[in-house]
Amino acid sequence: MLKRILLVVILAAVAAVAFPERASAAPPGQPSDWQRFYYYPYIYYPHSFQKPQTYDHMYYRYQPSQRIPVYNKSWYNFYPSEKPYHSGHHYILDVF
């Protein structure tokens, strides 16, 4: 039994030495230079590490996922709707 365990350990060590692979903890699109976190801004922003997407349209500046939707009066909106118990200057100051 001890010989088997010793043989497995030796084979595993030989395989680790014979087939070295560089370990990468960061998937694609993630930062690989962790030394930059020692300096400002100390934070990882995912959009800073993605390729810029081009959206070229004659009439629209932004792609549909980034556009502000058209305001529809039939949709519920908290601010212009009537609120009988929420009124006054103290409420306005509390909201903002």
In a domain, 24, yes or no: no
In a domain, 61, yes or no: yes
In angstroms, how far is CA 37 from the centroid of its own chain? 16
- Domain with 79 in it: 53-96
- What is the number of structural domains in the chain? 1
Which backbone phi and psi does 26 adopt, to 5 degrees?
-95, 125
Amino acid found at 12: A
In a domain, 75, yes or no: yes
User: Per residue in 39-89, pLDDT tens?
Assistant: 776 677 776 666 777 888 889 888 888 888 888 888 888 777 777 776 667
In a domain, 87, yes or no: yes
Tokens of 50: 């993605």
In a domain, 91, yes or no: yes
User: Per residue in 35-45, pLDDT tens?
Assistant: 767 777 667 77
In a domain, 46, yes or no: no
In a domain, 4, yes or no: no
In a domain, 15, yes or no: no
pTM of the model: 0.28
- Nearest-angstrom CA–CA distance, 32 and 24: 8
